[in-house]
Structure 1
Amino acid sequence: MTVTNIHLSNPCNIASAYSKCGRYLRKILKFDQMDFQFAMWQMLYLFINPQKLIKLFQARKLAKSQYARDDPAFLVLFTGALCVTSIGFSLVLQLSIMQFIMFLFFVIIVDCLCLGIMVATLFWYVTNTFLKPKNSLQDVEWGYSFDIHLNAFFPPLILLHFIQLFFYNGIISHQWFLSVLLGNTFWLCSCLYYFYITFLGYNSLSFLTNSRYFLAPVPWIVVVYIIGYCKYN
């Protein structure tokens, strides 16, 4: 959702935010107006060069006065990727039809939307409250926070819900050291991707200070990764 610059004390900003949100939602079923090729390009660069994608958001701010996406093509493709990878996940785990439906519901509604909204709202509040100078005239857009979450969530989705499946039955599902190593490494890479892309997203906002705090969980994640092997041995 593209909701920008929300000041509770300014009704004009709230009206503008709802207006942009309404335009975004009205576009979500107009597939002929979406740039899916560009959205796929963004997904590719989240893996190979996320810094380049962040520059795109900066260019959008200059051109359209907002950082957040105004084209729902990325969200539509993201949801499609969730559905396709969930089918593969269900086939590998041999889930029943009902189990697949419940799994798909959980992945899309809980993992993606509910958790995404919660994380985006938390980071939106934290950045505007603690990382933004009080004299700054700019705010972090809620829609941009949600976009950052989607960007950061996509590589873990592909790593854990797609690439990992090719190794699950042959290696990861066993009680071998290699199984633990490979499975934990997938999770490590996913977490590192998430926090690194999150950091890049907020670090690109020049009016924020100390955005490096978004990298704070990384050392702890690495420590947990190492401890996992110590316990295994």
Structure 2
Amino acid sequence: MNPTITLPRNNSNASSFGPVPSSSRRKDGRVRMPRFFRRLFKFPQMDFEMAVWEMTSLIIAPKKVFRQVYYHKQTRNTWHRADPSFTYLLSFFLLLTALSWGLAYADGFSKTLRITLVFIFGHFLLTSLLVSTTAYFLVGKLLGPGVKGLPGRNKRAGLFGPPGNDTVEQLEFGYCFDVSIRAFFPVWVWLYVVQFLLMPVISRDYWVSLFFGNLLYLVAFGYYFVVTFLGYNALPFLHHTQLLLTPVVAFGVFWIVSLFGLNLPKHFAPVLWAGADLRKSV
């Protein structure tokens, strides 16, 4: 599937989904609403084909997904995509998987509804907002000017420049949110879909079940941090982004330790955080 990229309209205004540039103000001085929010319910303008292509590429070749950021910067003067199609599509997929987990492990409609709300608004949206907010305030400050003592330190440049100064690159909250929701997609594939299909096998009290069950978590979170690294590595004004891969090493050590008796699917399956009982169908 080949995505199509349309040229921006002449009356489009850039928004950083964070600091508001002077070009995003109305003539009466009021601030315009960021395009992301203005397009929340304009479904005909959403590029779902691009969203599907990104989801496929995130599993096969995640580096391709973030090659588009230069196009958006050159044409719309913003790094992030003001298109909620990816968020809507992944939320719909989470709805389907939540219903599947609920039918298999929940008792009644109320618990299935609870699982659905927890999956979409808790696991996906709330977690993505928390991660993107943390990255917005920490990643830029640590990796924007450069880490003190490491090569590439630029003492004159910072993350946040003076208001209306377009010469200083800024880390946009919208882009941080883009990275977070795209990094969540591989987690959904491995822990919400593959784990659900393999749950009757990997939750058994056998070492082989423990090995492959825990391996799913290693692959899922490994993908999460790799996609996060690729997202921020695509921005030319960030330095030493390889530091974002450090959690992969830490989780690899935790995975090795877990092989001595900690079955992750039995204790950390997504449905457990919504109050379901795995013993119902296992």
**Corresponding position of 1:200:** 230
Spell out structure 1 runs of 4+ moving beyond 3 A.
10-16
Task: Compute the displacement of 1:100 (Å).
Answer: 1.1
Gaps of 5+ in 2: 1-13, 146-155, 159-167, 263-282
Does the 8 Å contact 2:229/2:244 carry over to 1? yes
- 2:157 is the counterpart of 1:135: yes
Normalised to the residue count of structure 1, the TM-score between the two structures is: 0.89
**Corresponding position of 2:127:** 115
**Corresponding position of 1:37:** 49
- 1:122-155, Cα deviation, whole Å (9 max, x unpaired): 0111122221125151111100000000010001
Question: 2:22 aligned to 12, 16, 19, which one?
Answer: 12
- 1:172-198, Cα deviation, whole Å (9 max, x unpaired): 221111221121111110100000000
Question: 1:183 aligned to 197, 200, 213, which one?
Answer: 213
In the alignment, the residues of structure 2 paired with residue 162 and residue 126 of structure 1 have an alpha-carbon distance, to the nearest angstrom, of 32
Aligned length: 227
**Corresponding position of 1:79:** 91
- 2:82 is the counterpart of 1:70: yes
Task: Compute the displacement of 1:13 (Å).
Answer: 7.8
In the alignment, the residues of structure 2 paired with residue 151 and residue 91 of structure 1 have an alpha-carbon distance, to the nearest angstrom, of 27
- 2:194 is the counterpart of 1:163: yes
| Letter aligned with residue 88 of structure 1 | S
- 1:148-176, Cα deviation, whole Å (9 max, x unpaired): 0001000111111112211112x022111
- CA 1:215 to 1:95, structure 2 compared with 1: closer, same or farther past 3 Å? farther
- For 1:164, what is the secondary structure of its paired residue? helix
In the alignment, the residues of structure 2 paired with residue 11 and residue 63 of structure 1 have an alpha-carbon distance, to the nearest angstrom, of 16
Whose helix fraction is larger, Structure 1's or Structure 2's? 1
Does the 8 Å contact 2:25/2:32 carry over to 1? yes
- CA 1:184 to 1:3, structure 2 compared with 1: closer, same or farther past 3 Å? farther
Identity among equivalent positions (%) equals: 29
Return the index of the structure with the highest Cα Rg.
2
Task: Compute the displacement of 1:5 (Å).
Answer: 6.9
Normalised to the residue count of structure 2, the TM-score between the two structures is: 0.74
Task: Compute the displacement of 1:225 (Å).
Answer: 0.4
In the alignment, the residues of structure 2 paired with residue 95 and residue 166 of structure 1 have an alpha-carbon distance, to the nearest angstrom, of 19
Over the residues paired in the alignment, what is the CA RMSD in angstroms?
A: 2.3
